[in-house]
Structure 1
């Protein structure tokens, strides 16, 4: 928000310099980012009055002009005569410099000496009187003899405010004036909004609002005898200081009032509105309209439009339509002042890629009770500048009234929170300076006007007291309280342990986007009925490739492997700790379940090729070993690995992990068809583990076991069992049958061959026996070993291999 210093002084008597004012505002929480000016790129240009204008006796296209610069009269030869005696014009005197490093000298033109040059706005580098070619004719009250930059206030300071989103009231100069009034105690001088009483000679506009949630208020006022021309130079300069480009008197007045009040306005050519009606409604699917920038816009049913009896004529709060634009032929206009739903305006602007000063104000919220004053102020300016006259009264559809909010303030509570002894009288004065109504008693009851939408609760009023009283008056104190050592939570320590373990296993951590392509499910062969296909769709995706939220880490890990493989990096071991998003239903009625998953991906050969050894390709057991290492570090025992099938994994090389009948994750080799989708030539092995479940079962407390005092006894056993019996089942049975002296069982051989019946296999185990209290004898071990053999034969029909 740009605040021209002199313009602000129209509303409040300022005794402080611009720099002092900037410091005051910044200390009160209204940051002034910089102070700038419209510093001109010319020198020695003054205001002169035209005394006479004659044709050059020796040239048809030249004119001899007598001008007075406040001290003397001089002759200037001009090439255009768009001015008259008595007009005030810019005179570049001999020695002046203009933009483009043009230096003005005395010179003779067809026998007549020219003592300077009369300048156009373009020659001065000023964006005034757009579309008008010729000498810049200044306002009649411009003083003669002063420098042009002084006459036009081009060196006037402009404060650039960096407003926080909650201070939409300061998007107008009057809001800033109220802020300054609170800081200085000066009174705010409101602009003239009085209107002459005129009988309507034009049809009274018919205004209707279909949805009060999208448009709370719409005011319209007809003005006739419109004369579209350039706005006065003083108004154009002020708009330039505000960063707004002048266009014409009617449009400039609406922008001028917007900068004063923070309330956007719009002007329609009244005779172009079908049946002289205004309907505020949602657009219909398939409707199109051409906006003022001459772009055809396709509308959706989520967009709010201003329509007449036939079609949309404006995008509410965003931009007007070309068909109802005010032009030089316009003789009657309808002024609009409205209050629109901020969210609706934001969505419309973003979906169409449009942005404007008016849109910014509607998005942050304008004062619904300021609509009537703003439209009257604009009509008053049009009348004062003889650009038109009021025709009838304001037609005001106020369907969802809003009222000032009364908030209780406890002075003791304010003093307690601020930490300063501020009297109740001073608190009351702070609010009264801003135009708030205050009722006093043991407590204050403050009625905050609707322009201050940021004031909703008692703490907001307390903050207001602290701001205006001065944050700098609050003493500096050291923080007090019990000092505690910062440390990681149990969960954070476990995740750190997992990360360190994986890195020590030779894996590199990767981070992939949570947004993935909807085609990922097809590439992974996920069935249509699978819950993993129900992905949350992003409302405003960066691209189609990142338009849904992932339900698996697998797609991102395979993309990482593919990216590296395409760059000749074939041997890769990576992991990712990331979230997946699983909605309960679509469309969303509640937030999706967010799970933290550990993903592991390995492909290629390790260790890499070397003259001392041959490389070995990664296999299922490499990934399984990494997973088991992580489980061991987390203190998790008893995990069962069960053969399974997953759509994206190779049958026969896929397993699910269970603990206490709860699924923890899966391990598997990527299916060849999936690998082809990602252009991966070498086998890829993946694992995904539910990290939240792992952390729930983790125990990071190190368990101490003393070294054994008595020796172990080792026995081997080889049994032939059916293929349907897993090695884990055999081990569990051996532990049960062998009792407490069975310390360890290790599978060291698996054999299929001619001596083994079809459908069976031989499993060889090394069994370690040990008793912590005594040395085991061969007889004791033999009896327990015999029990194991009998149990295997009884349960699985196993036979011993001798």
Structure 2
């Protein structure tokens, strides 16, 4: 070691009276590197100050030649040998566009272009009229863009000559980006329903997949592995968002909290290929979990409120599923709009609950936020107040237990057509008066025409059509 480059020479290489052979070195060091190194070691020197400001690398050879010349002129020694120049990428003179209008606009001045060129000429810059550019010599390492040139104009013109002016700009009203607005709506809905927000780790353990009963060939087991993990428990990037919320629910349960309702907005990281050749896909998931109060239908109601708020009222269906291994096979469903899956909802599988030391029934839902954002729609159309009276009918039906009310509602909407204003399920009954394996469901429906008062026969015809279609599903009117 002979010193700290660009800051201080070493004592073991200093020149003394006993020295008879000298090796000259001239170097130009990176200014940023020298500034940081000088600050880190607490040593401020003349050399460090010069390099920090930026020197011309092309001066290194001229400097060493001048030093050798002075040695001979003073009779202090004889220059022998040659020189080794390590300079693979020489710094070239830069060309910057000459843009007087932009410089005046930036400074708030009205300096003539000819005066600007006079200033630049005094700095050693030359103007090329054919290309309208300025040739910047290599010793001006600080001139790299229009703003740097404008600074030189201001310096020569005189800071005190620049007129005082108020900042100019277009006044705009700030607002959230669209996706953040949807996130805010979701937070409002969840917190109004008693859910508290949480933050969970994106780093997880590979053991999570076994706790969630995922098959060995599950796509979710294909993960991004951390190169320098804190330990096995933080060695992969999560591909499923449930573990964090379930762990937090378990913490609440073990702290004797009888009721817990939590939600989390967080990314999952889905590699496009392994080993990685590009960054993984990051998808924002809204994960909701609860225990102690409420059931599947309470959580479903929260999701319905959320989808209603983002303009999807009546457009989201809940299709029964059994593909999610971490959910109860008979108590899970997908949220869909057409062929697009928005998310899923269900009761956590009892074995998964045991793996997390949770007792009782636990319900979760996961919403894919990019899909929800894409489907959301706030183009609301308002209609005038109805001028003609509506006609209300109640319909009580006897249905097999296996038939979902959603199937009945599809028939009601299809047969009701434009005259169906609204419908509502108001009763579900199972008991002694109903045959075994059957249930009674009752709906109230309102029909209305915009341009006339409906005739009784029109409504009777629609009801008959509904009953005919329901009969194809084995559904009968209750006597």
- TM class by shorter chain equals 0.7 to 0.9
Residue 424 (structure 2) pairs with residue 770 (structure 1): no
Structure 1: gaps spanning 5 or more residues = 1-249, 270-330, 346-354, 383-387, 605-616
Structure 2 residue aligned with 1:498 = 186
SS of the equivalent of 1:396 reads coil
Distance 1:737 1:508 in 2: 42
Distance 2:428 2:367 in 1: 29
For 1:303-342, list aligned pairs within 5 A.
none
Q: Which residue of 1 aligns with 2:167?
A: 479
Equivalent residues, number: 452
CA distance in 2, matches of 1:483, 1:756: 70
Match of 1:258 in 2: 6
- SS of the equivalent of 2:109 reads coil
What is residue 148 of structure 1 aligned with on the other side?
Answer: none
Shift of 1:629: 0.9
Q: Quick check: 1:603 aligned with 2:291?
A: yes
Residue 462 (structure 1) aligned with residue 210 (structure 2) = no
Alpha-carbon offset, residue 398 of structure 1: 3.4
Could you say if the C-alpha distance between residues 437 and 365 of structure 1 is closer, same or farther in structure 2, counting changes exceeding 3 Å? closer
Distance 2:42 2:67 in 1: 17
SS at match of 1:506: coil
Closer/same/farther in 2, CA of residues 737 and 416 from structure 1, 3 Å limit: closer
Task: Show the counterpart of 1:555.
Answer: 243
Does structure 1 retain, via aligned residues, the 8 Å contact 2:447–2:459? no
Matched, 1:638 2:315: yes
- Once the two structures are superposed, the pairs formed by residues 183-222 of structure 1 within 5 Å of their partners are none
Unaligned runs of 5+ in 2: 14-19, 34-39, 72-76
Instruction: Tell me the CA shift for residue 427 of structure 1.
Output: 4.7
- Report how far residue 625 of structure 1 moved: 0.8
User: Given the alignment, which residue of 742, 746, 753 partners 2:425?
Assistant: 746
How far apart in 1 are the matches of 2:269 and 2:29? 35
**1:659 correspondence with 2:371:** no
* Cα distance in 2, alignment partners of residues 449 and 509 from structure 1: 57
Change (3 A) 1:640 1:471: farther
Q: How far off is 1:624 after superposition?
A: 0.7
Once residues 600 and 669 of structure 1 are traced to their aligned partners in structure 2, the CA distance between those partners, rounded to angstroms, is 12
CA displacement 1:491-549 (0-9 Å, x = unmatched): 55544333322222222223445555555445434445444444445667677655654
**1:641, CA displacement in angstroms?**
0.2
Q: Which has the higher helix share?
A: 2
**What is the aligned counterpart of 2:413 among 722, 735, 740?**
735
- Give, in angstroms, the shift of residue 653 of structure 1: 1.7
Report the CA distance shift for 1:429/1:634 in structure 2 as closer, same or farther (over 3 A): same
- The corresponding residue for 2:361 is 683
Q: Of 86, 89, 93, which residue of structure 2 is paired with 1:404?
A: 93
Please give the alpha-carbon distance, in whole angstroms, between the structure 2 residues aligned to 1:676 and 1:531. Answer: 24
Contact 2:397 2:475 (C-alpha < 8 Å) held by counterparts:
no
The root-mean-square deviation of aligned C-alpha atoms, in Å, is 4.9
How far apart, in 2, do the equivalents of 1:503 and 1:466 lie? Answer: 55
Q: Check whether the contact 2:93–2:135 (CA below 8 A) recurs between aligned residues.
A: no
Contact 2:94–2:138 under 8 Å retained in 1: yes
Corresponding residue SS for 1:601 = strand
Rg larger for:
1
Q: Which residue, 569, 573, 579 being the options, matches 2:257?
A: 569
**Deviations 1:205-257, CA, capped at 9 Å, x for gaps:** xxxxxxxxxxxxxxxxxxxxxxxxxxxxxxxxxxxxxxxxxxxxx74xx33x6
8 Å CA contact 1:727–1:763 kept in 2: the answer is no
Whole-Å separation in 2 of the counterparts to 1:428 and 1:501: 63
1:445 alignment counterpart: 134
* SS of residue in 2 equivalent to 1:258: coil
Contact 1:408 1:458 in 2 (8 A): yes
**How far apart are the structure 2 equivalents of 1:620 and 1:587?**
40
Deviation, 1:598, is 2.6
Give TM-score scaled by structure 2 length: 0.73
Contact 1:415 / 1:421 at 8 angstroms: preserved in 2?
yes
